[in-house]
Amino acid sequence: MDPLVSVLGPKVGGIRVVPIVTKISALFTVFLLVSNFASNYINLTLNRGELVRLANKLLVKDLAELYGFASNQHEIFTFSENLAEAKKSIEENARSNLQRERSVAFGVRPDGGVFFWASKLQAPMSFEDEKALTAMHEGGAQDAQREGKINFTLNGAAYFGVYKFSDKWNCYIIRAEEIAEFNKETNVIFAQVSVIIFAMTAVCIIVGAVLVQRILRFVKRITHGVMKMQDEQSLDLIDLAGAPNDEITYLGTALNSLSSTIDNLMGIFRRFVTKDIALKAYREREVKLEGSKRELAILFSDIKGFTFMTETLGNDIIDVLNLHYQRAIRRIHEQKGIVGSIIGDALLAIFGTMLESGDNKSVEALRAAYLIQEVAAELRKDISMRREETIRRRGALTEREELIFRAVMLEVGVGIDGGEVFYGNIGSYERMTNTVIGDNVNSASRLEGLTRIYHVPVICSEYIRDEAEPATNEYRFVEIDTVQVKGKTQGKRIYWPVRRAYIDESLERELASFSAGLAHYYGGDWPLARQAWESCSLPLCEVFRTRIQGGVAPENWNGIWAITTK
């Protein structure tokens, strides 16, 4: 077996099944490294704190000696009045206690000027850490001794140390160490310990993996048994001979006992294609002829020019439909929709049957509608590429081939409506089907039909707009018209949900022109409506320009247009 497969596991249906041993080993590797590094870091931090405390004691001792020596030099200076010699003596005395390359001892005037400097580093022109200087001033105001601990920045490096104000020299005498240099040795120790931790962790993981592999050996046998049944699409018993009496063996025994139950459920799954009904059958172990009223979103998709396709392609129409539906149904399922029925070129999808917290059935239906459009567009693109390739190879197409290429250039219309419908199982206990019944189902079909009239890919109802608009900003709902479809007595507002990602400046102007014209159209001022639509190139506007050719709205105009065809 491939070593990579042994560690990462095989792929089943494009998904890798990672061995439990690999997961446990990875988990414990992380735990061991985190715990060991955390312990090491905590130990380092505590030790550093103790070292800093001891260092401060030594710094205080050095500072006391330096302060006393500086006071004595001031007495000498009082008689000799040789300031340069006094500063030189103080600096030499201070250097005798500096052990590190960046150790410093110096005097700072209250105004920031450097009085004396003792260090291997170059002396600065002035003490530029105003924050630290202010802290010493404030500390002096509260403390009669005018001394304490201080952290400051010098030449871009962080220091810690102690200070004491000398009244005689009118300066703060500071003894300090650079933090990075002080911590250098402990950092080296931390790195060495880290290498040891890595080595010990690797040994422990290897030994642990071998032991866990031995303990969980029957997990692999159970997994391989299930994969075999999945590949062969048949139920079988897993060989558990020699298995110990633990939870893993119990799991394998439980899987074996469930095989017969799953076999019975397979008959139910074959009768139902919708996921929600299959899950319910699995949970309840039976299927009932029942239904209920539900708030659902209904999507109706239809292929345009299907009669021409059928006449041109003959029996090959099945292959084209299957190619389209295979992709379209997958997209519907991705949006948590279920396919209620497929009748030739028409597809009915339902959203909201498996609604979870945070889901919005109308948004899911809208997304599915545009995914279906993308599926059709991808198919048209593939067909166009094949047509061009054929022309390049042969020079031209026959008349029959041109017809075939035209026939397979699928275009679909999508209508979406929602509301209260009956949803459930009908038929008999010998043969049953899952269905959805209601006025909104018929309305979705009517809306799909209107896509051919208004030349837009998707049309939805006011119900869909009202539910989707507060939940997402993906779509701009452009009101198309108020129509009275055949068989209805009342008008219904219909909308074109335009993806905002598709709206550029040009389309924005077109939509604005259409909406402005529609307002005049509703108000019965058709001349103004025509004027607004004159510059609009949307096919949608052409429909209205044709409709208002008479120039005057009918008497008792209420803005509702009656559709006499289905």
**pLDDT greater at residue 20 or residue 202:** 202
Overall average pLDDT of the 50-64 stretch: 80
Overall average pLDDT of the 105-133 stretch: 90
Per-residue pLDDT reduced to its tens digit, 9-49: 565 556 555 666 676 767 767 777 777 767 777 876 777 66
For the ranges 54-63, 149-158, 336-345, the lowest mean pLDDT is seen at: 54-63
pLDDT of residue 436: 82
What is the strand order of the sheet 157-166 is part of?
A: 114-119, 104-108, 171-178, 157-166, 147-154
Do 473 and 499 contact (CB within 8 A), yes or no? no
Overall average pLDDT of the 379-387 stretch: 90
Bridge-based pairing of strands 412-427 and 458-461 is parallel
Query: What contacts 397, CB < 8 A, 6 or more positions away?
Result: 387, 390, 391, 405
Task: Name the nearest CA neighbour of 462 among 362, 354, 351, 318.
Answer: 362
pLDDT of residue 55: 74
pLDDT of residue 395: 83
Q: Above 90 in pLDDT, residue 3?
A: no
Do 559 and 482 contact (CB within 8 A), yes or no? yes
pLDDT of residue 401: 83
pLDDT of residue 509: 93
Q: Above 80 in pLDDT, residue 220?
A: no
DSSP code string of 65-120: HHHHHHHHHHHHHHHH--HHHHHHHHHHHHHTT--STT-EEEEE-TTSBEEEEEES
Strand partners, 495: 460, 479
pLDDT of residue 273: 47
Mean pLDDT of the chain: 82
Task: Name the nearest CA neighbour of 494 among 481, 485, 507.
Answer: 481
Per-residue pLDDT reduced to its tens digit, 301-349: 999 888 888 888 888 888 888 888 899 999 999 998 988 888 888 999 9
CA distance 520 to 508: 19
pLDDT of residue 313: 85
CA distance 352 to 362: 8
Per-residue pLDDT reduced to its tens digit, 425-476: 776 666 666 778 888 899 999 999 999 999 999 999 999 999 999 999 999 9
Vertex 294: Cα angle to 290 and 298 (nearest 5): 110
**pLDDT greater at residue 262 or residue 375:** 375
Do 335 and 365 contact (CB within 8 A), yes or no? yes
- Helix (H, G, I), strand (E, B), or coil: what is residue 169? coil
CA distance 442 to 486: 11
Neighbours of 296 (CB within 10 A): 27
pLDDT of residue 116: 92
